[in-house]
Amino acid sequence: MPQETNIFAILIPYIIIFAVFYFILILPQRKKDKKIKAMLAALKVGDEVLTIGGIYGKIVNIKDDILTIEVGADKTKLRIARWAVRSVENSAQ
């Protein structure tokens, strides 16, 4: 007679693997995405930012998802997308 296999005994390793992936990969990435989204939403005129291209600048204008930043000693103005900001270096006081 063939042995009966318990469905739970087959599923438990898959459930454990999914739980490990969730806590090691998915959850930390969600937290990181949430933090970045909050940082981008809090941008304001006067903030010193670093873009994903490595350009440091000061925000002088914000219109929807387009930021105008000043860079360099001659205060050249660049228009960038909001998502292109990697970090805020100094917040305006």
Looking at the chain, list the stretches that DSSP marks H as alpha helix, in order from N- to C-terminal side.
7-21, 27-41
Cα-flanking dihedrals φ and ψ of residue 15, to 5°? -65, -40
Q: Answer whether residue 84 shows pLDDT above 80.
A: yes
- For the entire predicted model, the pTM comes to 0.73
pLDDT score at 4: 65
Asked if 47 contacts 57 with a C-beta cutoff of 8 angstroms, the reply is no
Neighbours of 38 (CB within 10 A): 9
Residue range 1-17: average pLDDT? 81
pLDDT band at 3 (very low <50, low <70, confident <90, very high): low
Higher pLDDT, 3 or 27: 27
Condensed to tens digits (0 to 9), the pLDDT of residues 26-61 reads 999 999 999 999 999 999 999 999 999 999 999 999
What is the CB-side half-sphere exposure of residue 50 using CA atoms within 13 A?
6
